[in-house]
Amino acid sequence: MNSYAVLLGTDKLIGTNGVLSLEQNGKSLEFFRIRDVFSQARPGSALTIDADIKDTDGTSEIKLANNAPVVIGAGLRVQSSDTQLLVARDDGTVVFKAEQVEPDQSFRPATGPLKDFFEQNPVGAVIRITGNFYAGSHLIKSDARVDPTDVPFGNVRFETLNASAAESGLRLTPFGFSF
């Protein structure tokens, strides 16, 4: 199984299996899954994801399966390349963007238990998610241009850089993260 680092707003979700879900009405709903990543060693490979989100007005639904739109609201378009998937409005406004970034060391803690975790569990790819969108009924603001103190998930505000490590999927709840 591959291990990924997912950068979401100011948060670093390290060592996950690439599945992000949320808790809504007591149920776990998956809204993001990494299916594959780009590798120069594998010709034809590309960042490939599934996503189930809504635009910030909450009415334009976007469901992607292996980067292909299964459901897409009016005025939205999907573009993809080997290392990026973009959902944007016709005017160019970004709704959701997933990009595979170079796995440099900047996302890795230099000390502490997460440093030890990395040494034992190397990360296969680093995926950055940006945009302003709804996952279920929860607004996720992870646009790189927004103030990092204004990145809400439900009732949670990520006011400082957070780093979490796990070997399974990540579930976002109104109280924070759980694995």
| 138 belongs to a structural domain | yes
Question: What confidence score (pLDDT) does residue 109 get?
Answer: 63
Helix (H, G, I), strand (E, B) or coil at 132: strand
Joined together, the tokens standing for residue 60 give 């334009």
Q: Return the closest-CA partner of residue 5 out of 132, 103, 112.
A: 103
| 94 belongs to a structural domain | yes
CA dihedral 152, 142, 39, 114 (to 10 degrees): -50
| Average per-residue pLDDT for the chain | 76
| 13 belongs to a structural domain | no
Domain residue limits at 89? 20-102+131-157
| 150 belongs to a structural domain | yes
Joined together, the tokens standing for residue 98 give 């997933």
HSE of 172 in the Cβ direction (CA atoms, 13 Å)?
24
| 136 belongs to a structural domain | yes
Query: Percent of the chain having pLDDT more than 70?
Result: 65
| 117 belongs to a structural domain | no
Kind of pairing, strands 162-165 and 11-16? parallel
Question: What confidence score (pLDDT) does residue 146 get?
Answer: 41
| 172 belongs to a structural domain | no
- Amino acid code (one letter) for 42: R
| 162 belongs to a structural domain | no
Joined together, the tokens standing for residue 46 give 């590309």
Helix (H, G, I), strand (E, B) or coil at 111: coil
What is the number of structural domains in the chain? Answer: 1
96-130: pLDDT as tens digits: 999 998 866 555 666 666 667 667 767 788 898 98
Checking if the pLDDT of 148 tops 50, the result is no
Question: What confidence score (pLDDT) does residue 168 get?
Answer: 47
The DSSP letter of residue 106 is G
